[in-house]
């Protein structure tokens, strides 16, 4: 399929999805008024959980770059994590691209090493999300609602597929073709990370903590909106958000994440609007807070002008 047609289809699908999303937000906008009554403690809780997750993501980046012999200072890995979170909430993987460009420009860190690192982290994050989602959905299926049986089986299948994907990443030989060789280097970087047990365990712990923090933040947002959503459902919704955010079908995941959680919320018997509105407000909080932090680290995003141009 021609690339121009693919771009057109992605743009059209994104526009349609955003239109549907906007319709539902306007339809249920009255329920958003509860945000105006947010207390200081509620805001402080969301603030703490947002930047705790940013810190965990930054720590992951620091561990991954150190594996390749690059040591980032705290300002760099925290600032890059803020930038990544902010831009990824606007366009698909835009923040990851900005981070890879900075590491290449500032530290000559190879793009393919970063791509391998990102792939390894995403695989482990998906595996931990599938494992968590499977356990929660099976528990809820047995204790609360049988309507989650399809979700439980889907998570079980994903867990098995991801487990073998992590275990069976091949070691590849260099190729003479530049594009193929770049792909080989990315896959081999992925292989090295997954085969390094201490780093693998560290990434599992980081991602498990990230899932827990995101679920707690979602739970806090539900409380702000006065929605009666139990913590175990927030944990399940978090795993859905992680998977949807990684699907490159649209220009960004704006709308798709909210609608996906809304449908799962409906399936779980709590109502479509609860899941959609809570996910929307959660995105607004995360984007607004990390955007303010990104402005403080904007010099990481835009290289300073040479001294000659300044004068």
Structure tokens at 149: 């049986």
Which of 256, 273, 293, 276 shows the shortest CA–CA distance to 15?
256
Give residue 116's domain range: 43-300
Would you say residue 261 lies in a domain? yes
Would you say residue 180 lies in a domain? yes
Which of 150, 122, 140 shows the shortest CA–CA distance to 210?
122
Tell how many helices (H) and how many strands (E) occur in the chain. Answer: 13, 0
pLDDT at 191: 79
pTM for the model stands at 0.84
Would you say residue 5 lies in a domain? no
Neighbours of 81 (CB within 10 A): 27
pLDDT at 202: 92
Would you say residue 309 lies in a domain? no
Cα(181)–Cα(264) distance, integer angstroms: 42
* Buried/exposed 86-108: b ≥16 CB within 10 Å, e otherwise: bbbbeebbbbbbbbbebbeeeee
Would you say residue 18 lies in a domain? no
Total number of domains constituting the chain: 1
For Cα atoms 280, 283, 288, give the angle at the middle one, nearest 5 degrees. 130
CB of 92 closer than 8 Å to CB of 252:
yes
Would you say residue 6 lies in a domain? no
Would you say residue 11 lies in a domain? no
C-alpha radius of gyration, the chain, whole number: 20
Residue by residue, pLDDT tens for the chain (311 residues) are 556 665 666 666 666 666 766 666 676 666 667 777 888 999 999 999 999 999 999 999 999 999 888 989 999 999 999 999 998 887 777 888 889 999 998 899 888 888 888 888 888 898 899 999 889 888 888 887 667 778 888 888 888 888 887 777 666 665 555 555 566 766 777 777 888 889 889 999 999 999 999 999 999 998 888 888 888 888 988 998 888 887 765 556 676 777 788 877 787 767 777 788 888 888 889 989 999 998 888 887 766 555 545 54
How would you class 172 by CB atoms within 10 Å of its CB: exposed for 0-12, middle for 13-18, buried for 19 or more? middle
Would you say residue 228 lies in a domain? yes
Nearby residues of 291 by Cβ (< 8 Å), 6 or more positions away: 86
């Amino acid at each position: 399929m021609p690339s121009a047609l693919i771009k057109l289809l992605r743009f059209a699908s994104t526009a349609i999805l955003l239109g549907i999303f906007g319709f539902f937000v306007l339809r249920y906008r009255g329920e958003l008024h509860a945000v105006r009554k947010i207390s200081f403690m509620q805001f402080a809780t969301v603030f703490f959980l947002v930047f705790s997750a940013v810190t965990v993501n930054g720590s992951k980046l620091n561990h991954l770059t150190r594996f390749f012999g690059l040591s980032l200072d705290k300002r760099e890995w925290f600032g890059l994590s803020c930038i990544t979170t902010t831009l990824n909430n606007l366009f698909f993987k835009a923040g990851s691209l900005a981070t890879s460009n900075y590491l290449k420009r500032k530290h000559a860190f190879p793009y393919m090493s970063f791509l391998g690192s990102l792939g390894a982290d995403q695989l482990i994050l998906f595996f931990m999300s599938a494992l968590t989602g499977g356990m929660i959905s099976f528990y809820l299926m047995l204790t609360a609602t049988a309507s989650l049986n399809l979700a439980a089986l889907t998570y079980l299948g994903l867990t098995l597929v991801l487990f073998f994907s992590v275990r069976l990443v091949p070691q590849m030989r260099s190729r003479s073709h530049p594009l193929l060789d770049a792909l080989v280097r990315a896959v081999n970087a992925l292989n090295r990370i997954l085969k390094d047990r201490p780093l693998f365990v560290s990434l599992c712990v980081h991602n498990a903590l990230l899932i827990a923090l995101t679920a707690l933040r979602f739970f806090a947002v539900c409380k702000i909106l006065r929605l009666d959503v139990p913590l175990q459902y927030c944990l399940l919704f978090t795993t859905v958000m992680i998977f949807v955010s990684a699907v490159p079908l649209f220009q960004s995941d704006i709308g798709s994440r909210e609608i996906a959680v809304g449908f799962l919320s409906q399936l779980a018997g709590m109502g479509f609007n609860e899941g959609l509105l809570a996910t929307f407000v959660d995105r607004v909080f995360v984007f607004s807070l990390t955007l303010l932090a990104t402005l403080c680290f904007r010099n990481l995003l835009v290289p300073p002008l040479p001294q000659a141009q300044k004068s």
